[in-house]
Amino acid sequence: MTHPIELTIEEPLPGAFVWQLLETDDQGTHPRVLRKAFEPAESYELALSSGQRALQSEIRHRAPPGAGA
């Protein structure tokens, strides 16, 4: 079984949005940063789009060989 992954967007400074992927244990606790943005995005939407691409990449990376196309 894989552990849940959560995409979060934070705004540490006004107008600077940063995505990160958090992986938790099977109970959804003890999150750890799996991946995060190298640089902040100028909008929430841009950060969300980048974070979604990273999440899809992580899902493809973890898929068993031969799963999906």
Which token pair is 15?
């107008």
Amino acid at 45: E
The SS3 of residue 47 is helix
Q: Write down the pLDDT at residue 68.
A: 61
User: Which tokens go with 41?
Assistant: 């995005």
Beta bridge partner(s), residue 17: 41
The pLDDT, as a whole number, for residue 25 is 82
More confident of the two residues 12 and 24: 12
Please give the average per-residue pLDDT across 8-33, as a whole number.
Answer: 91
Strands (E), the chain: 5-13, 16-23, 32-36
Domain boundaries, the chain: 5-62
* Interval 22-68: pLDDT, tens: 998 877 778 899 999 999 999 999 999 999 999 999 988 888 787 66
| Confidence (pTM) | 0.81
The per-residue pLDDT for 1 is: 46
